[in-house]
Structure 1
Amino acid sequence: MSHALSRVNDVSEPVIHAAGLTKVYGDTVAVGGIDFDVPPGESFGLLGPNGAGKSTTMRMVGAVSTRTAGELSILGLDPDQHGPEIRAQLGVVPQQDNLDMELQARENLLVYGRYFGLPRRVIAQRADELLAFAQLEDKAKSKVDDLSGGMKRRLTIARALINDPRILLLDEPTTGLDPQARHILWDRLFRLKEQGTTLVLTTHYMDEAEQLCDRLVVVDKGRIMAEGSPSALIREHSTREVLEVRFGSDRNADAAKRIGAIAGLGERIEELPDRVLVYADNGEHALAAVIESGLEPVTSLVRRSSLEDVFLRLTGRSLIE
């Protein structure tokens, strides 16, 4: 897999450039004029809730959906004019695994490699390398149907790498996986990033974005709300810590009002249907002040701020609704 290492030294022209990128379906604006650049070797994320326009953006970047307006260039080419050349240099991991269930794991890689017109010997060698990379060597002869969800996802990623792509597009890569399977997958993606492959991923999991993305845009209703590294976005839009207190669904609203009346308690308070969030630099101090005021939360939790808080601040709603 070392052949990808040289890419880090490529000319630093953006591998993806979008300006005013727009997609309209009938009366619906799915993507409303967004701008972003992705330099080579970066892991770039589109973070937002379902329906935010992330997958539509990915389809345009993947040269399978034409744009309505704006500029888009992928690897220096316009996808409207050069779709096949662009697609030959991309790896695509769709939201749903679309593997051939009847074929064995290794056969899935061999068949897919032939679409790119690669010599059989090259495909066979790459298939073996990629099965090892995906930690599926012992499943080479297993039917896809017999693999676990996490194994299918790793096989889908291995298949997307068979043409040695310069850019790997991942649409919601870990949806539906258990925590252990997600961590194995993150490790594989991190290794690709270290080898210089440009990663572009959509996700509505803030922990995934924090783990994998060098930089991301927060997208809502087809528009970019903020852009930056995960840590910079958290610093800019949230406090160091968050106190979460629950009082029971019928008491949260009243408790939120009373918490809001405590002098100097933190920067802001968010009332969600099931809990009240207090944004403060010291969550333990905030909790002590809440209890001193005579309120008795059913549960309390002090945690560091996350991208979920950034999203809530920017859009007024939770990422996972």
Structure 2
Amino acid sequence: MIEVKNLGKKFKNFWALKNLNFKLEDGEVLGVVGKNGCGKTTLLKLIAGILKPSSGKVITNLKVISYIPEKPILIPELSLEDNLKYFASLRKISKERIYEEIKYFELQVHMKKKTQELSKGLQQRLSMIIALLPDPDIILMDEPTSGLDAESKKLIVNRIRKLRESNKTVLYVTHDDEEIEKVCNKVLILDEGELMFFGSVEDFWKKYERYIYVILEGNNEPLLVKIEELKNLRNVMHVRSVGIREFLSGGVNLEINGKANFIKTHGD
């Protein structure tokens, strides 16, 4: 369980986070979404204890927290194998436990490579293993799949699903709406440091009416329509959802009779 009460963080005269309140139960995966600079990473660092709050507090009944930053923190001079041995020795992790994660993340053939020789995807897989070795109760992940190859992304997303099944609590910062739909049962949306929404993904779309882009036969320009209007359209060639981040950008373009119109999508 994690409970955030009136949480705020101030840097000089700037409030990065303001009066956040929410609660997560064991086994919940929370997708943290928002524009760049809205306070997502600050929130993770406050929960991890890396930063101290300027106001409010974080309450948890769980003991072990692992934080996985966007850029992996590894020892570049050491091989993948020696990185694992070093970090495992800090927690007295068994060889069996280490090999279990190595096998899952398919890193056997890379063990002797120095981490600076590894691709970003392989580095992130190694970072995931290091964070998961102590069997943490809470896992904080800051855009773990950003810029990764498809194979690494799939392995990490599937591993998050397994964490959820194991009753772990995960906070997952992402720009990928598909990942939110696949692995998260809750979503938290920040806007300029303030809590815009907290609840299930389904509840978000109930509160903020969902739109879709469609391309009709003979017209290459996408049309933006409400989802319930799709049944009234003819000759639909392609349909694309408007993602949460795109939806929250402040508006989307709607093409009507060849003229671009601006439709705000905040439900106000």
Task: Report what 2:85 is aligned to.
Answer: 110
Aligned 1:161-172 pairs, distance under 5 A? 161-172=132-143
Task: Report what 1:176 is aligned to.
Answer: 147
**Contact 1:30/1:52 (8 A) holds in 2:** yes
Secondary structure at the counterpart of residue 98 of structure 2: helix
5+ long unaligned stretches in structure 1: 1-14, 77-85, 247-273, 292-299
Query: Structure 1 CA distance, aligned partners of 2:251 and 2:23?
Result: 22
**Contact 1:238/1:305 (8 A) holds in 2:** no
- The Cα shift of 1:184 comes to 2.4
Task: Report what 2:104 is aligned to.
Answer: 133
**Higher strand share goes to which structure?**
2
**Contact 2:213/2:242 (8 A) holds in 1:** no
Aligned 1:208-227 pairs, distance under 5 A? 208-227=179-198
Query: Structure 2 CA distance, aligned partners of 1:218 and 1:130?
Result: 32
Aligned 1:1-321 pairs, distance under 5 A? 15-75=1-61, 89-116=64-91, 118=92, 122-239=93-210, 242-244=212-214, 277-283=224-230, 285-286=232-233, 301-308=238-245, 310-312=247-249
- The Cα shift of 1:163 comes to 1.4
TM-score by length of 1: 0.70
Q: What letter corresponds to residue 128 of structure 1 in structure 2? A: Y
Cα distance change on mapping 1:287 and 1:179 into 2, 3 Å: farther
Q: What letter corresponds to residue 162 of structure 2 in structure 1? A: R
**Contact 1:243/1:287 (8 A) holds in 2:** no
Q: What letter corresponds to residue 84 of structure 2 in structure 1? A: L
- The Cα shift of 1:112 comes to 1.1
- The Cα shift of 1:138 comes to 2.7
**Contact 1:243/1:283 (8 A) holds in 2:** no
Query: Structure 2 CA distance, aligned partners of 1:285 and 1:71?
Result: 50
Deviations 1:194-238 (A, max 9, x none): 222221111122222222211011111111111222222123312
Secondary structure at the counterpart of residue 202 of structure 2: helix
Secondary structure at the counterpart of residue 239 of structure 2: strand
| More off after superposition, 181-190 vs 26-35 | 181-190
TM-score by length of 2: 0.83
- The Cα shift of 1:126 comes to 2.2
Deviations 1:236-283 (A, max 9, x none): 3123x513569xxxxxxxxxxxxxxxxxxxxxxxxxxx9763324133
Secondary structure at the counterpart of residue 185 of structure 1: helix
Q: What letter corresponds to residue 225 of structure 2 in structure 1? A: V
Q: What letter corresponds to residue 278 of structure 1 in structure 2? A: V
Q: What letter corresponds to residue 282 of structure 1 in structure 2? A: E
Secondary structure at the counterpart of residue 207 of structure 1: helix
Percent identity reads 25
CA RMSD in angstroms comes to: 2.8
Deviations 1:162-217 (A, max 9, x none): 21111111011111113343222211221222222221111122222222211011
**Contact 1:61/1:74 (8 A) holds in 2:** no
Cα distance change on mapping 1:183 and 1:190 into 2, 3 Å: same
- Higher-Rg structure is 1
Query: Structure 2 CA distance, aligned partners of 1:275 and 1:282?
Result: 15
5+ long unaligned stretches in structure 2: 253-262
Q: What letter corresponds to residue 137 of structure 2 in structure 1? A: R
Deviations 1:9-49 (A, max 9, x none): xxxxxx21101100011111100111111111111121111
**Contact 2:66/2:138 (8 A) holds in 1:** yes
Q: What letter corresponds to residue 69 of structure 1 in structure 2? A: S
Aligned residues: 251
**Contact 1:52/1:220 (8 A) holds in 2:** yes
